[in-house]
Amino acid sequence: MPNPTIAWFDDLTASVFALGAAAREGRLAHQAAAVAAWQIEPARLQTVSGDVNISGEYKISPRDVVLSQIRALSRAHQHVTTDLYENLALAYAYGTAGALLTVIKGYRPRYVELQRDQTDHYELPDEPLPDFRGDLGHWPGQRRLALLRSHVGARRVARFTGRSEGALLGLADCAYAYGEQAEMALHHVLLTARADQEPEGEQ
């Protein structure tokens, strides 16, 4: 007969890991889009002379035209991947924090609980990430978790208040780093709880 405690533990940690893996894929796509944009930067491309006459009406530089088209596609791709990565990273942060908070309260969720909208983006709460100071015992990573929480919060406030784009830089990376740290905290809490529940002879 399977042990329900182990099944719950395994399902929840797998759920959190899968959410982090999705954020990592989003980050890779975001980075690839940035590299692709750099490859067609005008400052690093040599000028090519030569025009084409279009139906005797006007001349164009075929290379300049196609580069303009590629840059427009690249900008659109960058926008989409940036938005995707940010949403996935924040979902990782909030989803993992939600699972951690639920476990700290004494519940046993099998999966991370999130919602998605009609565009397949995760719906994120407006409130700040939970504050776990005092809830994680002597775990050495809680100071970094609190610091990352403040960084994510500051960047989200900048987004909501319409501050300059410079203030928003790094929101996705901060959220992802918070998700990683919260995932480690979750493992710590789960393993500590299991150790406390095991009979002394089984430890």
- pLDDT exceeds cutoff 60 at 28: yes
pLDDT in tens, 170-179: 899 999 999 9
Mean pLDDT, residues 25-48: 84
pTM of the model: 0.85
pLDDT in tens, 48-81: 778 888 887 888 788 888 888 888 888 899 999 9
Cβ neighbours of residue 149 under 8 Å, at least 6 residues apart? 128, 129, 131, 178
Mean pLDDT, residues 10-26: 96
Q: Measure the CA–CA gap between 132 and 101, rounded to whole angstroms.
A: 8
CB count, 10 Å around CB of 28? 12
